[in-house]
Amino acid sequence: MKSKSRTAHYALICASYFAAYSSAHAYAAVFLLEKGFSNTMIGVVLALANVLSVVLQPISAGFIDKYKAFTNRKVSLFCAFGCLISSVILVFAKGPALIFSFYVLLYMLQMLYQPLIQAMNFEYTDKGFKINFGLARGLGSMGYAVASPFVGALVEKNGVSVLPIINILIFSIGIIALITFIAPKETEEANDKKSAEEIHNSFISFVKHYPAFMIFILGTTFLFFQHNALGDYLFQIIEPLGGTKATMGTLVMVSASLELPAMASFAFFRKKLGTKNILVFSSIMFTVKTIIMLFANSIFWVYVSQSFQMIAYALFIPGAAYLAESVMEELDKTKGQAYIITAITLSGVFSSLVCGRLLDVLGVKNMLLVCVAVGIVGTLICSIVLGKIKTRK
């Protein structure tokens, strides 16, 4: 099968995933507020969903790496069906307990299968399909960028009850894309290779076998603390500068759109510069982006800061995925991808709790100052340890 058609198919999976991310995650607070939840309870919903996904991501990845009956596609399908069913129930749910339970399930399941989609790319590549991961992942970001203003307009016109319906439509598209994305059969040689290797499913065993990579994961957690804070509290950051909700929507769309050219070009830059050098550069740019936001005295400088998304997040995400693929042994590949997403998710839990409190007590500038400090730590850890990580290919 031609490389182009497989890239397009995989891009549809990514685009549908991140379009649903827009409606299910970005508008979570809007939906729950309208349903009578307090800000405190919304924080509990999101924190619980994130913590559950952090716990379950490595576990599900371990099952996939260990048992042939479980594949990235099958488990992704299970999660997507769970998201679809949760969305259907949320259309009709009235009581706070029911809404709480199924929103946690929806949010958690969607986070759960993000690393599996990533791992699926490399699994299919190993089986003979050529997929331009950077381009497909960039189109995934475009799915988010394109969906966000449409979702906002529909919510503005019809109210938050339209959100679960949007989720149903998008998850249905994603499920069809996953069902039809069938991999070629493994060769006997690949099966023999798997049986000869040792699996590292326990956290301690994994850390001992990949110590430098796990230090990189720690650095990633620090690095994404600032990234998640800028995303979660963007409106609070721009409001003192004269920004509005409309400004915020534009900023989100611009930054997400800028991810596509960088991700699409990643394969080219990787050949010229190498994965590790790109990751060092992008980790530095994360903190530069936050520093610009700290000193921004007008919306213009906020746009400048957001434009760094192209050389920070947009290079780091495919870079980290390729790094995990090049470091992990065959039976640990899915877990390698899962730990990257786990680090990003965990950083979101910390940043949402810490930065929310900092905003209330110390204000925007001090919150951003803390983000810069944490970001510098993450940049230093990633930059130093990348030179010590040994790759297998």
Q: Find all residues with CB under 8 Å of 338, minimum gap 6, and list them.
A: 57, 58, 60, 61, 115, 116, 119
Quick one: pLDDT at residue 39?
A: 66
Class of domain 1-196: mainly alpha
Burial of 388 (0-12, 13-18, 19+ CB in 10 A): exposed
Residue-range domain boundaries for the chain:
1-196, 200-393
Among 27-36, 181-190, 286-295, 382-391, the range of highest mean pLDDT: 286-295
Quick one: pLDDT at residue 191?
A: 45
Class of domain 200-393: mainly alpha
Structure tokens at 356: 């929310």
Q: Residues 192-202: what's their mean pLDDT? A: 55
2 band by pLDDT with thresholds 50, 70 and 90: very low
pLDDT at 170 over 70: yes
- pLDDT tens track for 241-259: 887 766 776 777 788 778 8
Quick one: pLDDT at residue 369?
A: 92
Q: In angstroms, what is the C-alpha Rg of the chain?
A: 20
pLDDT at 91 over 70: yes
- pLDDT tens track for 255-294: 877 887 888 888 888 888 888 999 999 999 999 999 999 9
Q: Residues 197-219: what's their mean pLDDT? A: 79
Quick one: pLDDT at residue 5?
A: 61
Average pLDDT, the chain: 82
**Between these two residues, 353 and 173, which has the higher pLDDT value?**
173
- pLDDT tens track for 116-127: 888 888 778 777
The answer to whether the 1-196 and 200-393 domains have the same CATH topology is yes
Q: Find all residues with CB under 8 Å of 131, minimum gap 6, and list them.
A: 3, 6, 7, 10, 121, 124, 125
